[in-house]
Amino acid sequence: MNMINTTPLLAGSVFGALAIIFGAFGAHALKKHMDTERLESFETGVKYQMYHAILLILIGILPQTDHTYYAANLIIIGVILFSFSIYGLVLSATFGKKIKILGPITPIGGLSLVAGWIMLFVSFLSL
């Protein structure tokens, strides 16, 4: 496979920019509406999104293999399910109508992130 996979580069760039926007939004606009626990949950989503944005950029510049391809896709799915479900849970609870269906989605996203890291580990074994 060894060609450049632009998907992790593009996703990492978008996730990184959105993490900064969401972090600023949480720190400034949401701070006055949220209790400390909700704000910390929101910040957890932002942190994990940024960590994985950076990881996706790194995966994008690695030699591409089937394992790095699957790692990137698992991490992209994981960020969407993990971080964005946290945002949805926190925002919906803050503004009156908690979307409970998002609760079980967060750990699925976390498992997808873990699977992505494991797939990345497997790709390093092949070097």
- Give me the domain span that covers residue 58: 6-125
Is 0.85 topped by the overall pTM?
yes
- Does 49 map to a domain? yes
Residue 17 has a pLDDT of 98
- Does 71 map to a domain? yes
- Does 1 map to a domain? no
- Does 22 map to a domain? yes
Residue 55: closest CA among 74, 27, 42: 74
117 φ/ψ angles, rounded to the nearest 5 degrees: -65, -40
- Does 117 map to a domain? yes
Cα of 68 vs its chain's centroid, Å: 17
**How many alpha carbons lie under 13 Å from residue 45 in its C-beta half-sphere?**
27
Residue 103 has a pLDDT of 93
- Does 112 map to a domain? yes
Looking at the 3D structure of the chain, how many domains does it have?
1
- Does 109 map to a domain? yes
Q: Which residues of the chain, if any, have pLDDT below 70?
A: 1-2
Residue 126 has a pLDDT of 85
